[in-house]
Amino acid sequence: MEKLIDFRELDKVYDGKTDRAFDGSHAIKIIYSKENDIQLKLGKRNEWLAKDEIYITAYRGRMTVDSPFGSDYSVFFIRFKSRAEERLLNRHFNIKPSQKMLLDAVVSECEIRKTNPSSEISQLMIKSLFEQFFLTLFRDNIRLERIKRKNKTDDETVKQVIIYLKEQLGREIRFDEIVKKAGLSSTGLKTLFKTYTGMGVISYFNHLKIERAKQLLSEGELNATQVAGILGYESIHYFSRQFKKIEGISPSEYIKQIHSLD
């Protein structure tokens, strides 16, 4: 089975601050922006890199790096094999301080290798540093994908709860009913819903009911007592209290406001 990462060779490293064109190459390139924005030109495609961002590409044509602010950047020309190459190539990555240290260590080791190009120790050091670097990228990428999957699931859960609440506007509803519908614990639902909406589930439900009440009252065909009945309130008095709590005015005052605008 092919390795997750099998580093083969570092062809060369370029460190600079000025615009530079690089001839076509079969090597994989890691372009690392150390300061302000730089721009890559890969044929007809352009890529912008911010500070502490890298871009990995297997593009074989002529590549240009524009550094409009004279920003420091590095380009590593490398060769490796990986069974998960698609997770790396043609992608942007924001790198952490520990990953920057690994790339800086590669540059330092390249300087040492200049004094003894055939040094096996330098070659092994560079291989080890790059493999550590790529393994941390893989680990971070897997973690981010897990978070994205969880967020997608959370999004869908909240969306389904809101749809359910909108379907129940004609009655009072208990929190344990909503918990059962969501398939979460009480605490889990409270935390998730508050994170996404900024309010509790029942509070959100009450706001939905009052928004629906405002819509019905503004249509002018129903009075407050009828609207209270349609929305499942046990009494006109309880409906009026809820309406005033959320809107700051009573249903009758709201109706007067609507009529004054006609």
Query: pLDDT tens, 183-195?
Result: 889 999 999 999 8
pLDDT value, residue 98:
93
pLDDT value, residue 262:
58
Q: Name the architecture of domain 6-146.
A: Sandwich (2.60)
Query: pLDDT tens, 120-161?
Result: 898 899 999 999 999 998 888 878 778 778 878 888 899 999
pLDDT value, residue 153:
85
168-262, superfamily in CATH? Answer: Homeodomain-like (1.10.10.60)
* Topology agreement, domain 6-146 and domain 168-262: no
- Can you tell me whether residue 80 is helix, strand or coil? strand
- Domain coordinates in residue numbering, the chain: 6-146, 168-262
Distance CA 231, CA 225 (A): 10
Q: Largest Cα–Cα distance of the chain, in whole Å?
A: 92
pLDDT value, residue 36:
84
pLDDT value, residue 3:
81
The conformation of residue 235, written as its DSSP 8-state character, comes to -
Distance CA 127, CA 134 (A): 11
What residue ranges of the chain have pLDDT lower than 50?
none
Strands (DSSP E) found in the chain: 6-16, 20-22, 28-33, 38-42, 45-49, 53-57, 63-66, 73-81, 91-94
